[in-house]
Amino acid sequence: MAQVDGSVVVLNGETEASLRTVGHISYALHAIVAVGSQAVPGAQGSVLLLLVAFFLDLYKRGDAAGSWQESHFRWRIRSVVFSGIAYAVTAPLWLLLIAPGWIAWGVISIWFVYRVIRGWLALNDRKPMPAP
């Protein structure tokens, strides 16, 4: 059961722990994708893991509504959506020459890794992510 404290929802201990576990699982899947795609170029199996994390976040985010953990669900979902759009928009660069595509996807990957690390550290410290 959730309790409203001012404008922030305070979750009971069981729900809080469950959502933190979901958050750790989701960030771990994001990290595997981020590191795995760099270690093994073209490892498209990692896309499946990212989709699992994405749909898990979409499914569970309602449970965190109004709490500090809601910001983490929003952070992870936006990370996947924005990086997916950026990869799709820059994909034609691979057709021009390999270097422009490699540079663009490298920058996107670094940004994605940054978001995973920053979010996971904040979750571990029980801190919300900044509002967009």
For residue 62, give the DSSP letter: G
Predicted pLDDT at 37: 58
Between helix 70-90 and helix 13-39 the angle, nearest 10°, is 20
Predicted pLDDT at 40: 53
Does 23 score more than 50 pLDDT?
yes
Predicted pLDDT at 13: 76
Per-range mean pLDDT, top range of 3-12, 37-46, 83-92: 83-92
| Stretch 66-89: mean pLDDT | 91
Domains of the chain, CATH where assigned: 3-124 (1.20.120)
Does 58 score more than 70 pLDDT?
yes
Residue predicted with more confidence, 24 or 14? 24
Strand ranges inside the chain, DSSP E = 3-5, 8-10
**Coil, helix or strand for 3?**
strand
Share of the chain above pLDDT 70, in %: 83
Q: Are the beta carbons of 76 and 57 closer than 8 angstroms?
A: yes
